[in-house]
Structure 1
Amino acid sequence: MPKTIKKLTAEDVESIIEIARDSWKWTYKDIYNKEFIENWISEKYSREKLLNDIIRSQKDDGIIFLGSFVKSIPIGFIELKIGDYRAELLRLYLKPEYTHRGIGELLLLEAEKIMKKKGIVECILYVHKKNSIGISFYKKNGFEVKHIDGDDLVMEKEYKY
């Protein structure tokens, strides 16, 4: 299954929303009720917010927003906010049928290449403490739990170049 990873464009917005919705329903079905998930998707994945982030990514303006594609169809995405020396991994989601195939790792590795060029020395993320799949993925990829913030684990990965 050939995969391409590249910056997302405005044409990808509807696919991003669909991937987020499917992933949230699959990942959080035993954590949140359907109404909460739908409200979260509507609020955090509005077309306007996503388009703004895509434009910032294309302009290299503090956002990395990459998609993974199979035959030009988006199947996953990663988004990071970039500071001077620190990044925050905001989102990493795949269509459920594409999980456990190494695609998440490929997205993370591609983002890490960009972070290296920008001199990023640490990346943090927040993951729900009951999201065992996400926690396992991040630990496998070098992130460590630093502390708990409400319902989230705060995880961090340091980079030495």
Structure 2
Amino acid sequence: MNIVKLNKKEWESFKLEYHWETFDIYRVEVAEDEDGWVVKVKRSKNDERVVKTFREYLYRPWMEDCEIYGLELDGKIVGWMTLSYEHWCNRLRIFELFILEEYRNRGFGSMLLNKAKEIAKEKKFRAIVLDTHNSNFKAIEFYRKHGFELNGFDLTQYHNDDVDRNEVRIDLVFKIQ
């Protein structure tokens, strides 16, 4: 098994199909008071199972200075990672990190994430950033296990009432030491 750099032109029309189901979410609460805002991002149980399914291109032309890596196992690509070099702010951005469902929980996601950390250190980036959905509980826990911390959120990524809908984009960061 090895990680290989993939040709963007060959993979530009490839779509990943994301799917997760969970009762666990990170609920975002925002309140305003006389001193400003109070924000809480807390793990909680949702009353109903959250089911998310969507397809997204592995590579999109607007991705700045982008590279795609694949995890190859027995001649087959079973995982992908799309990285972007944000030179203007000295960060590495992970746009996509995905392992085929039948290959999950074998450490393959960790291998790709460790590759991103290696690249960030080699290129002397100060941080790695990424975003995910507040209901993508397993992904958030995976990133936290690997040293990522809350970096922020977007309260209107999907709709103007994302907080009420529990549809908040969570931004995470890994600070390079």
Under a length normalisation based on structure 2, what TM-score does the superposition of the two structures give?
A: 0.67
Cα RMSD after superposing both structures? 2.6
**Would you say the 8 A contact 2:6–2:67 is kept in 1?**
no
- Counterpart of 1:8 in structure 2 is 6
Alignment of 1:149-160 (within 5 A): 149-150=154-155, 151-160=168-177
Cα distance between partner residues in 1 of 2:9 and 2:76: 11
Q: CA deviation at 1:14?
A: 8.5
Select which of 92, 107, 122 maps to 2:97: 92
Q: CA deviation at 1:78?
A: 0.7
Percent identical residues: 24
**Would you say the 8 A contact 1:69–1:75 is kept in 2?**
yes
Under a length normalisation based on structure 1, what TM-score does the superposition of the two structures give?
A: 0.73
Amino acid at match of 1:126: D
Q: CA deviation at 1:134?
A: 0.3
Select which of 48, 56, 68 maps to 2:71: 68
Cα distance between partner residues in 2 of 1:75 and 1:136: 21
**Would you say the 8 A contact 1:146–1:155 is kept in 2?**
yes
Q: How many residues align?
A: 136
Query: Which residues of structure 2 form unaligned runs of 5+?
Result: 23-49, 156-167
Cα distance between partner residues in 1 of 2:117 and 2:2: 16
- Could you list the structure 1 runs, at least 4 aligned residues long, displaced by more than 4 angstroms after superposition: none
**Would you say the 8 A contact 1:62–1:81 is kept in 2?**
yes
Which structure is higher in strand share? 2
Q: CA deviation at 1:148?
A: 2.4
Deviations 1:82-101 (Å, cap 9, x if unpaired)? 12211111110010111111
Which structure is higher in helix share? 1
